[in-house]
């Protein structure tokens, strides 16, 4: 989770974008939990605030062994004081990972060598390691927002599938989310074209009036029910699978 998205005062515990994105992650976590039939280590790679991992811990405390928050930006003090004995903060994933799920929530687009980082994670996994990945979709949506967020690229299901397949990530399912808002975002982004010489002062993410936020949240909840059928378009790509 990118901390820059929180700089506008966005609260992920209530904001429609984060609350709807947690739905497919929770659904896949439940599937993995049933398949393994034992407690799981949740590895939040590029975790930032760790919102999504903490959310899983709040909703599935009996199904989680530990939470590993992995981010190169953590200080020694942050890693030493997590405030929860089941939560560990670290800069790198240790070797010998098993019975785990690696979540990367809008992380790969920030990494210049996305092939390399996926390979490194694969090499640290031993057995029964699953993954849940989200990335921004379609270069046609590339705008000043991407420059502000320090993105290198946006993806499609095809390019993401090819990338993951090259590093032994076996895709079980992939789809787009936020499909219904795609046309509106596309129109707005055409008027906010990327300009390397004029970076925006903030991201597109912002707080909404409570009624508007509630409407957006529940409309997206409804869309998430049919998410796996959406192979055409959306603002975000999602991939679920297992690391070989």
Q: Give me the mean pLDDT over the 175-183 stretch.
A: 97
Q: How many H-runs (helices) and E-runs (strands) does the chain carry?
A: 8, 7
CB 149 within 8 A of CB 221: no
CB 69 within 8 A of CB 87: yes
Report the CATH superfamily, name and number, of domain 3-243: Vaccinia Virus protein VP39 (3.40.50.150)
- The average confidence (pLDDT) of the chain is 92
Q: What is the pLDDT of residue 152?
A: 96
Tens-digit pLDDT profile for residues 134-173: 999 999 999 988 998 999 999 999 999 999 999 999 999 9
pLDDT(6) > 90? no
**pTM of the full structure:** 0.94
Cα separation of 244 and 234, whole Å?
Answer: 28
Q: Give me the mean pLDDT over the 168-197 stretch.
A: 88
Q: What is the pLDDT of residue 10?
A: 84
Name the least confident of 101-105, 141-145, 187-191.
187-191
Q: What is the pLDDT of residue 205?
A: 82
């Amino acid at each position: 989770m990118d901390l820059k998205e929180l700089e506008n005062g966005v609260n992920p515990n209530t904001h429609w974008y984060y609350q709807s994105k947690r739905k497919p992650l929770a659904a896949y976590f439940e599937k993995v939990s049933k398949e393994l039939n034992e407690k799981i280590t949740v590895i939040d790679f590029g975790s930032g605030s760790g919102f999504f991992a903490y959310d899983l811990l709040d909703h599935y405390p009996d199904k989680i062994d530990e939470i590993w928050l992995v981010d190169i930006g953590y200080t020694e003090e942050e890693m030493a004081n997590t405030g929860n004995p089941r939560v560990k903060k670290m800069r790198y994933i240790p070797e010998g990972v098993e019975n785990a799920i690696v979540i990367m929530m809008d992380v790969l687009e920030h990494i210049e060598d996305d092939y390399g980082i996926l390979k490194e994670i694969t090499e640290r996994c031993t057995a029964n390691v699953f993954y849940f990945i989200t990335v921004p979709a379609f270069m046609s949506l590339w705008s000043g927002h991407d420059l502000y967020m320090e993105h290198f690229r946006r993806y499609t299901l095809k390019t993401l599938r090819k990338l993951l397949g090259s590093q032994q990530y076996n895709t079980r399912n992939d789809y787009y989310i936020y499909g219904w808002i795609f046309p509106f975002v596309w129109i707005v982004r055409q008027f906010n074209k990327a300009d390397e010489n004029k970076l925006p002062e903030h991201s597109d993410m912002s707080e909404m009036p409570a009624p508007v936020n509630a409407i957006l949240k529940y409309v997206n909840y409804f869309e998430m029910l049919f998410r796996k059928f959406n192979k055409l378009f959306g603002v975000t790509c999602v991939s679920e699978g297992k690391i070989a």
